[in-house]
């Protein structure tokens, strides 16, 4: 991903005041997965990875609370703290929640049994600084669960956007769409954690999203409007042309299909976790 795109997609002010001033854009990206087969219960997978020894959990980049609500509902004996850098995401979440920078966590060391970093590390300008902080607050042997997308995730959306952008610009292929996870893709994620954590494992989740109307895809693409200035193409015109291309495909074959590949990364803080 180009330097200007990384700078924009990791700019805390832009993220807090626009991209995540509320959950509109995040919800649009989440809802696309309603059309995925097979379905994956990611909060359920997190629950399965935690046991009675995980008495305190930090949901880092908790967003609109999808994991926070599930953990508190099904593990009421566990203390779950939500942290997000965007105050607009926290307004409707029950406490305890904190607005804080992942690279400067307001938590004492060796206090947290598990940290969740679900589709959020790629928003950090200094991922290593955040990993140092996560390792600091985790108890010895504590658990980190992170998630992100693979480099080839939703490649059909890349093709659609580049084709639409090319039509708008009058060239064969336009600029690639903004892809947040390019700053921390699944393919390189495990290696990125090796300096700070042990027992690292990657659990890939693959599937297909099939839509019979353009709207879910257009809502997903439109959720990246925050970075329209970095798109390298007139955003609304490209979105309109993407609609036309989607309608042509759906009319011709009955649906538009997207291949997904994301995953969970499990890691353990150095040291022996006690009972």
What would the two tokens of residue 99 be? Answer: 């607005």
Q: Is 167 contained in some domain?
A: yes
What is the phi/psi pair of residue 68, to 5°?
-55, -50
- Give the Cα separation of 242 and 218 in Å (integer): 8
Q: Is 273 contained in some domain?
A: no
- Domain of 89, CATH number, reads 3.40.50.150
Q: Is 244 contained in some domain?
A: yes
- Mind listing the pLDDT tens digit of every residue in the chain (275 residues)? 788 899 999 999 999 999 999 999 999 999 999 999 999 999 999 999 999 999 999 999 999 999 999 999 999 999 999 999 999 999 999 999 999 999 999 999 999 999 999 999 999 999 999 999 999 999 999 999 999 999 999 999 999 999 999 999 999 999 999 999 999 999 999 999 999 999 999 999 999 999 999 999 999 999 999 999 999 999 999 999 999 999 999 999 999 999 999 999 999 998 876 44
Do residues 144 and 195 make contact, with C-beta atoms less than 8 angstroms apart?
Answer: no
Q: How many structural domains comprise the chain?
A: 1
Residue 128 has a CB neighbour count (10 Å cut-off) of: 12
Which strands, in side-by-side order, build the sheet including 56-60?
36-37, 198-211, 256-268, 138-149, 112-118, 56-60, 79-84, 97-99
Q: Is 274 contained in some domain?
A: no
Q: Is 275 contained in some domain?
A: no
Helix (H/G/I), strand (E/B), else coil: 15:
helix
Kindly report the CA angle at 159 between 155 and 162, in degrees rounded to 5? Answer: 130
Q: Is 209 contained in some domain?
A: yes
- Tokens 């330097």 sit at which residue? 3
Q: Is 118 contained in some domain?
A: yes
Domain that holds residue 172: 3-268
């Amino acid at each position: 991903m180009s330097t200007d795109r990384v700078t924009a997609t990791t700019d805390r002010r832009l993220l807090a005041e626009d991209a995540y001033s509320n959950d509109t854009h995040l919800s649009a990206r989440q809802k696309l997965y309603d059309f995925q087969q097979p379905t994956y219960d990611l909060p359920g997978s997190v629950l399965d990875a935690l046991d009675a020894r995980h008495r305190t959990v930090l949901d880092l980049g908790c967003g609109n609370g999808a994991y926070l609500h599930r953990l508190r509902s099904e593990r009421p004996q566990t203390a779950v703290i939500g942290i997000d850098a965007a105050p607009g995401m926290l307004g409707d979440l029950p406490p305890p929640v904190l607005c804080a920078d992942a690279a400067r966590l307001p938590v004492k060391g060796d206090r947290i049994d598990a940290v969740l970093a679900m589709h959020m590390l790629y928003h950090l300008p200094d991922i290593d600084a955040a990993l140092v902080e996560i390792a600091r607050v985790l108890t010895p042997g504590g658990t980190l669960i992170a998630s992100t997308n693979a480099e080839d995730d939703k490649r059909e959306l890349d093709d659609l956007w580049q084709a639409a952008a090319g039509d708008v610009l009058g060239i064969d292929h336009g600029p690639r769409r903004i892809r947040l996870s390019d700053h921390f893709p699944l393919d390189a994620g495990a290696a990125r954690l090796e300096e700070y954590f042990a027992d690292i494992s990657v659990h890939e989740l693959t599937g297909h999203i099939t839509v019979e109307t353009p709207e879910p895809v257009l809502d997903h693409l439109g959720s990246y409007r925050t970075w329209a200035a970095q798109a390298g193409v007139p955003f609304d015109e490209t979105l309109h042309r993407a609609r036309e291309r989607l309608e042509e495909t759906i009319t011709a074959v009955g649906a538009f299909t997207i291949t997904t590949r994301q995953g969970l990364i499990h890691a353990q803080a150095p040291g022996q976790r006690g009972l």
